[in-house]
Amino acid sequence: MMRIGVLISGGGTNLQALIDGIESGYIPGEIAVVISNRSTAYGLERARMHGIPAKCILKKDYNNDQAFNAAILETLKEHNVELVVLAGYLSILSPDVVKAYPNRIINIHPSLIPAFCGKGYYGQKVHRAVLEYGVKVTGATVHFVDEGTDTGPIILQQPVMVKDDDDINSLAQRVLEVEHQLLCRAVKLFIEGRITVRGRKVSINE
């Protein structure tokens, strides 16, 4: 059973979607550990309620970013993690961590990359920018993590139409539902060995 490590920073609804996907048998994997960089992340509680090892690793407990990321990598290795999933994780992984898991770190982003992504575009800020720009279509993207921010090869995308009367919350809610489905599908496809990456091009064996 493939061992998944999930990194979170907040409410953990994407983590919950993974937990539900595993418990329903849809995702043939297991979550070996949940790591949060925020002690208040409700996602830690979600993990504990499902008997999943949950660990808080706080940047303030380390001298520098490199040591902080080394602690994350050590925890992933301790739990024999084979696939890392960033589920609402609001920190940038160091090159060392990315190098340890080449095309084995998956991130979910709440827009159609390369729009509304990169430094500073996370959570509600993404949807605010979408509404301010006035685009008619947004969506969600699942991609492999490389050493950039939201720049790795794209695995899956799904559009979400922007409604005239949308506000940040109504739009965020509709995109979040798509994120949950897309993330579970990408993790399932990965574990089943149905994803091939050639350079930036990702092929899915549906």
DSSP letter, residue 153: P
Respond yes or no: is residue 109 known to be catalytic: yes
- Nearest CA-CA partner of 18 in 7, 116, 152, 94: 7
Decide if residue 110 touches ligand GRF (CB under 6 A).
Answer: yes
Sheet containing 83-86: give its strands across: 54-56, 29-36, 2-8, 83-86, 105-109, 137-144, 154-161
Residue 11 binds to ligand GRF (criterion: CB under 6 A): yes
Q: What is the nearest approach in angstroms of ligand GRF to the Cβ of residue 136?
A: 20
Residue 55 C-beta: closest distance to ligand GRF, Å: 16
Could you give the CA distance from residue 13 to residue 88 in angstroms, rounded to a whole number?
A: 8
Whole-number minimum distance, CB 166 to ligand GRF, in Å? 15
Structure tokens belonging to residue 9: 């920073």
Of 80 and 169, which has the nearer Cβ to ligand GRF? 169
Say how far residue 62 (Cα) sits from the centre of its chain: 24
Question: Which range of residues in 7-15, 53-61, 74-82, 191-199 is near ligand GRF by CB under 6 A?
Answer: 7-15
List the interface residues with ligand GRF, window 118-147 (CB under 6 A).
123
The residues annotated as belonging to the active site are: 109
Q: What is the contact surface with ligand GRF in residues (CB under 6 A)?
A: 8, 10-15, 43, 87-88, 108, 110, 123, 176, 179
